Amino acid sequence: MAGLMAKIQQANGASRALFRHLGFAQVGEADYFGEVTVAVAWDQVGRLVEGWLDSASASLYREAEYMRQ
């Protein structure tokens, strides 16, 4: 396997933008069913994940302990 890939309907702009923001790039044109393929190579995945964890948005995540009364 060369990397991670996903197929998204060409008209689904929100999902395409999300995957683009995550580091995926479109491969080729839309197929017969109107789907585009987006992919990211394995050698880029580790760097992308480290970037997500080091980003300012990672500070928005926190665990809350459940306290039963």
Helices (H), the chain: 13-21, 42-54
Residue 69 lies in a domain: no
Q: How many domains does the chain have?
A: 1
At which residue do the structure tokens 């190579």 appear? 41
Residue 67 lies in a domain: no
Residue 36 lies in a domain: yes
Domain with 35, as residue range(s), is 3-60
Residue 12 lies in a domain: yes
Residue 51 parent element (H or E): helix 42-54
Residue 68 lies in a domain: no
pLDDT tens, 12-32? 999 999 999 889 999 999 999
State the pTM of this model. Answer: 0.68
Residue 65 lies in a domain: no
Residue 53 lies in a domain: yes
Q: Which residue has the higher pLDDT, 56 or 46?
A: 46
Residue 54 lies in a domain: yes
